Structure 1
């Protein structure tokens, strides 16, 4: 490979790293409105847990299926202005869901949200990569912290907007969405200028992998192991963010708003873990951080359903922090496995996480309707044991970063 084709990592563009992280926060805040509405939809529309799970399925699977497609296309032909267009689709989805009076209308609205998410994530990840310079882990952490912070707002949206104002309170989120469209338009302009600079200089940014040379078979096995980790993590996190509030209210007898605040605590800890995961992986290696995120939380997840409220809150803090510490790292690890397919790998890993969260929503809803909350929470806690396949991932070299 000639020098003109070799990537120059350059210096990090911190303002753009932060800007795309804020945009990710806004995007995922809109997605978080859906699970935040579940208690209202169950109460006011009489939806079953299975029906709530189907809503999650439609939202997440649509985003899951389309994200790798968008990533594959953008790897061949980047689409800077797809970013504000994707958020415009989400704007329509929020506007519809705020005034939906029937189940089918909610399904249509989440289709617009899923489409917007599918367009945003691969291109947003590419902007993060372009702004990262030699701080790949940090950049991906800032980007994913934005998204996880948006998701963490779900219980707050429920407690302070939807519970007081009802379903139509979701319309307040449209103000945030409009700000996101403006911000993404500015980010897209920078993105386009960077692409033009690359074209003129005949230099294309490529990722320098810290992994040893691997055969196609080894890469395939490693990607499969990553998918297993993401599958188990997504099922568990979905159970916590979408359904655990019902368990808290039933098991401990607390008010719904209090339960939502406990869920927020769990998700806020996940944001903290996500932020530190990327920079930590730059220092000690991607695999080591992934191992940390699975080995420590698993016994705590299994213990959680049997803990009293005070102990459960302590466990939620530790689990939330550690289980999400690898969220951004799994994306970067996948990109380093296939460094020529930045968008595709981002779309595949994040899209798969969305898809498994959606499928998990239906499966968990059916399990709760069939076997009850107690049994379902125990089963899902045991499912986290699957994450131990992380032991077999190829080891990367932190010293190359």
Structure 2
């Protein structure tokens, strides 16, 4: 089936949605595992570690491989694997079997994201912020649809209802497999354009990218801390039911999806780093209101600006990383969407132990401190460099060699 080029931006967004459904569902499943399987807060955070960290460590490797040679079939395999792991949680009793299942989903996600982000960059044209925000919002929507599917499945079929999470992933993997020839063509065009720009003097800013990566590490801690511990805060501190606590992740995901769309478009107009800084600054007062308030209504309302402020910075961070490393777009995607963005998964078990020992409000206070450091760090990150102009003759010569 032949589609228009611009349609593939939407296809990559939907692929991202399906790749992230299972991962997005995990925070909503955790309260059920705590209540029905008897796992501790630290063990619940350990599952977040398995999802976020194991796969993300190898994600830059997959990104570097994509820069050298595109393999669209890896995106298909990644989506398929992401649907296989967490969907099995309801059938498992052993904690380490759960850990392995979640890690399997994490590896599948690592396969998809670098090539997916690279492909979204190629089909976006000049409006990289908008293109990456469209791609990124697929992940946000996956985080929204995942909890709803999980809660629906568990409510109707018990914990074995987690199996429903595999359906959209399997369907999208099959569809993308039918499009691999066209996607390989887009990747080849992008590689030719990069080679011509390198010949014209295009260089990578590794120092600036390192600063951006450090801020993204901190932002990841805030993001995963929020999605992991807000549902548990609702259950343990605000004394809400398992199901109602799980729906907080859906609110966070939908608000984050809207903000991701806005963030990329604002970045194209106002500058990438200006949008990143604004989002991090606004996050702090929103979290403080939730910490101090014990009124469920107000706290629930504040979830919306909390999620929107943090996700305002996500797609500009990914697009800025690709602009700082224009010769290694796949690697930049693997780091900003994988390794750095999943750093919170490494920290979450530590925060879980703090929560077990000192209570969940202490965990949220730690997140406030992390947000302050991230705000300060964002002022040291450079904005996007000017694109190198490639002479038509140079680009034609590059295409001939390919």
In the other structure, the counterpart of 1:281 is 267
Distance 1:281 1:13, change over 3 A: farther
**2-side partners of 1:155 and 1:331: how far apart?**
25
Q: Which runs of 5+ in 1 are unaligned?
A: 1-11
In the other structure, the counterpart of 1:9 is none
How many pairs are equivalent? 382
Cα deviation, residue 348, structure 1: 0.7
**1-side partners of 2:281 and 2:315: how far apart?**
17
Cα deviation, residue 230, structure 1: 1.7
Instruction: Indicate conservation of the 8 Å contact 1:63/1:354, yes or no.
Output: no
In the other structure, the counterpart of 1:395 is 383
State which drifts further: 389-398 or 335-344. 389-398
In the other structure, the counterpart of 2:398 is none
Distance 1:36 1:261, change over 3 A: closer
Instruction: Indicate conservation of the 8 Å contact 2:88/2:162, yes or no.
Output: no
Cα deviation, residue 58, structure 1: 1.7
Instruction: Indicate conservation of the 8 Å contact 1:19/1:187, yes or no.
Output: no
Q: Which runs of 5+ in 2 are unaligned?
A: 390-402
**2-side partners of 1:207 and 1:20: how far apart?**
25
Instruction: Indicate conservation of the 8 Å contact 2:256/2:307, yes or no.
Output: yes
1:139 aligns with 2:125: no
- CA shift digits 1:32-56 (9 cap, x unpaired): 2332221121122211111111111
In the other structure, the counterpart of 1:331 is 318
Cα deviation, residue 383, structure 1: 1.8
Distance 1:73 1:375, change over 3 A: same
In the other structure, the counterpart of 1:304 is 290
1:204 aligns with 2:193: yes
TM (norm. structure 2) is: 0.87
Instruction: Indicate conservation of the 8 Å contact 1:285/1:398, yes or no.
Output: no
**2-side partners of 1:14 and 1:198: how far apart?**
15
- CA shift digits 1:278-325 (9 cap, x unpaired): 111111111111111112222332332002333323322112112101
Distance 1:352 1:302, change over 3 A: farther
Identify which of 188, 198, 209 aligns with 1:223: 209
Distance 1:198 1:392, change over 3 A: closer
Q: Equivalences for 1:99-178 in 2 at 5 Å? A: 99-178=91-170
State which drifts further: 65-74 or 288-297. 288-297
TM (norm. structure 1) is: 0.88
Instruction: Indicate conservation of the 8 Å contact 1:28/1:150, yes or no.
Output: yes
CA RMSD of aligned residues (A): 2.6
1:79 aligns with 2:80: no
State which drifts further: 172-181 or 153-162. 153-162
Distance 1:374 1:195, change over 3 A: closer
Q: Secondary structure of 1:393's match?
A: coil
In the other structure, the counterpart of 2:21 is 29
Q: Secondary structure of 1:204's match?
A: helix
State which drifts further: 326-335 or 350-359. 350-359
- CA shift digits 1:88-125 (9 cap, x unpaired): 22233245434222112112212221111111000111
In the other structure, the counterpart of 1:8 is none
Instruction: Indicate conservation of the 8 Å contact 1:235/1:357, yes or no.
Output: yes
1:241 aligns with 2:227: yes
Identify which of 23, 45, 67 aligns with 1:53: 45
